Amino acid sequence: MSKTLVLAGCGKMGEAMLSGWLERGMMPSDITIVEPNEETAAKLHAKYGVQTHAAPTDLAADNDPDFVVFAVKPQMMDKVASQYARYAGPKTAFLSIAAGKPVSYFQKNLGDDAIIIRAMPNTPAAVRRGITVAYPNALVTETQRRACDELLKSVGNVEWVDDEGMIDSVTALSGGGPAYVFLLVEAMAEAGKQAGLPDALAERLARETVSGAGELMRQSDETPTTLRINVTSPAGTTAEALAVLMADGGMQQLMIKAVAAAKKRSEELAS
Ligand SMILES: NC(=O)c1ccc[n+]([C@@H]2O[C@H](COP(=O)([O-])OP(=O)(O)OC[C@H]3O[C@@H](n4cnc5c(N)ncnc54)[C@H](OP(=O)(O)O)[C@@H]3O)[C@@H](O)[C@H]2O)c1
């Protein structure tokens, strides 16, 4: 990957991407981090050998990156995005991973000639098992799209959509999805404790079951429905549990409500 980039914001997601890029062969000298948190910046410099700056005004005047990547919290974006408007033009593509910030928002802050890709990754990116969905604006060239695909693939799988409206649903499903899975582990552990298991054992069983089932699903060609049926003997113990989970108002309906609530919040963040 012989690209240069500026990464604005290097917290959880930013660092996951940074380490993925370096692992894929980008040189630390090709990456400049803008991160006002002094402690975080010092840690990043020591760990990865990348240059860090407190603000975009500290970037060298001749810095002409292929990508500016926005990985700050959506709430910070009003302060951040417009500070990079000087890079708008045919050379630099802006890649934003911020929840709820549409392409039109970046156009407003960066100018109509800004090349923008809006993407939504998720935290398994930290172990290169993320899933990112990306949407390009009309100015993104095929070469930039391929380069961006490569950047995003360094932390997992990538899908592209040509309808930006889908990104709010993606945010609600896969963006926040890891939290739903961790909640499932917490809920299973608590249920195990209430069923009489010692705390540590219940927590270990819940964690191993969810991560093991995830790995089984990843390696299997079967659908999740078939894998579920494979665990469920007729009139057996699992069937009893599933009758509760799949009853009216059960897991499916709760999940539909939860994802709809997250989607609504993503839409609200855009305004
Ligand atoms: N976490 C997720 O599951 C997830 C999933 C998909 C997408 N995203 C998106 O990814 C983005 C980053 O999320 P995150 O979880 O990585 O957040 P985070 O850990 O809080 O990282 C954001 C980083 O940006 C820094 N920052 C604050 N102001 C800045 C500025 N003016 N210029 C440059 N950097 C600045 C923050 O420093 P301080 O710590 O000092 O504030 C922090 O280090 C968000 O827009 C979020 O919507 C997150």
262: in domain: yes
CB 77 within 8 A of CB 88: no
Quick one: 150 and 230 in the same domain? no
Distance, CA 91 to ligand 1 centroid (Å)? 25
pTM of the model: 0.93
Quick one: 212 and 156 in the same domain? no
Quick one: 157 and 25 in the same domain? yes
Quick one: 192 and 139 in the same domain? no
Ligand 1 close to Cβ of residue 12 (< 6 A): yes
Distance, CA 202 to ligand 1 centroid (Å)? 33
Domain boundary among 101, 134, 162: 162
The tens-digit pLDDT sequence of the chain (271 residues) is 678 999 999 999 999 999 999 999 999 999 999 999 999 999 999 999 999 999 999 998 888 999 999 999 999 999 999 999 999 999 999 999 999 999 999 999 999 999 999 999 999 999 999 999 999 999 999 999 999 999 999 999 999 999 999 999 999 999 999 999 999 999 999 999 999 999 999 999 999 999 999 999 999 999 999 999 999 999 999 999 999 999 999 999 999 999 999 999 999 887 6
Quick one: 17 and 146 in the same domain? yes
168: in domain: no
Ligand 1 close to Cβ of residue 10 (< 6 A): yes
- Compute the distance between CA of residue 219 and CA of residue 222 in angstroms, rounded to an integer: 9
172: in domain: no
Quick one: 36 and 156 in the same domain? yes
**Domain CATH for 49:** 3.40.50.720
Ligand 1 close to Cβ of residue 99 (< 6 A): yes
Distance, CA 145 to ligand 1 centroid (Å)? 23
Ligand 1 close to Cβ of residue 175 (< 6 A): yes
Ligand 1 atom closest to residue 122's alpha carbon, by position in its atom list: 5
What DSSP line would sit under 112-181, residue for residue? TT-EEEEEE--GGGGGT-EEEEEEE-TT--HHHHHHHHHHHHTTEEEEE-S-TTHHHHHIIIIISHHHHH
Quick one: 105 and 65 in the same domain? yes
191: in domain: yes
Domain count, the chain: 2
Quick one: 158 and 182 in the same domain? no
The number of C-alpha atoms within 13 Å of 132 and in the hemisphere containing its C-beta is 31
Residue 61 phi, psi dihedral angles, 5° rounding: -60, -30
Distance, CA 266 to ligand 1 centroid (Å)? 16
51: in domain: yes
Pairing of strands 93-96, 67-70: parallel
**Parent domain of 250:** 177-269
Domain boundary among 127, 162, 197: 162
Query: CA–CA distance from 9 to each of 31, 99, 116, 130, 184 (Å)?
Result: 12, 14, 17, 19, 30
Ligand 1 close to Cβ of residue 13 (< 6 A): yes
